[in-house]
Amino acid sequence: MSPVDDIADGAQLQQSRQDRILNAALRVFAQRGTSDATLQMVADTAGVSVGLVQHHFGTKDGLIKAVDDVAMNLISSTMFAALKSPGPDSVEAIGRAVHCLLTDHLVVMDYLGRAVASETPSGVALFDAMARSGIERWERMVESGDAVDGLDAVWAGLNPLVLTLGSIILRRHLDRHLPASFTSDAELTRWEDSVNELIHHGQLRT
């Protein structure tokens, strides 16, 4: 079982204590932010002692780094294949990857959304890495002629990032304007289709 899988009551005993602590930390950090969270909160959520948290991760900073590593590895492994898709095909591939992350790993996405909004070191690093990747991808599409004439490659790369991270950060506000939760499969599909349409008609050569 992956450290980022949701913990069900029956499955919790099957996890190592270290994975339980990582999952608990993800939940607590996503809800409270790393600055307001305490090791005691994480220990209580994981059902272990603070001493055991310290045994595995040392300090709070050590636990934050471990959570960052898990989250970054998940994002990288999920998005890698999508980013490798050729030219215009990458638009749909990235949309499917984000849909998958929001469906299967929502707590990680909430954690990263809070990290970006709070400008934590990991949030800044994540945003900058995704921004560079997106801008470089659109620069290649401008050079290959797949993008519309005169496209601003910088904003072409930043706009999908704003749409994605903005939706994660604001998802509870979005829920008030949708017939179902933003993270339901039906609404995620609507969101994915809408973003793809914006990119295809605004940035890609038809």
Tell me the average pLDDT across 133-139. 90
How many percent of the chain have pLDDT more than 70?
90
Per-residue pLDDT reduced to its tens digit, 90-119 = 788 888 999 999 999 999 999 999 999 999
Contact 6, 27 (CB under 8 A): no
Q: Region 61-89: what's the mean pLDDT?
A: 84
Amino acid, single-letter form, for residue 54: Q
Q: What is the pTM of this model?
A: 0.81
Residues 6+ apart with CB under 8 A from 126: 72, 75, 112, 115, 116
20: Cβ contacts below 8 Å, ≥ 6 apart:
7, 12, 46, 47, 48
State mean pLDDT over 57-66. 95
Please state, in angstroms and rounded to a whole number, the distance separating the CA atoms of residues 50 and 42: 8
Residue 176 has pLDDT above 60, yes or no: yes
pLDDT surpassing 70 at residue 1: no
Q: What is the pLDDT of residue 156?
A: 92
pLDDT in tens, 152-166: 999 999 998 999 999
Average pLDDT of the chain?
88
CA distance 152 to 8: 46
pLDDT (0 to 100) of residue 3: 59
Q: Which of 5-9, 121-125, 129-133 has the lowest mean pLDDT?
A: 5-9
The more confident residue out of 90 and 146 is: 146
Indicate the pLDDT class of residue 6, thresholds 50, 70 and 90.
very low
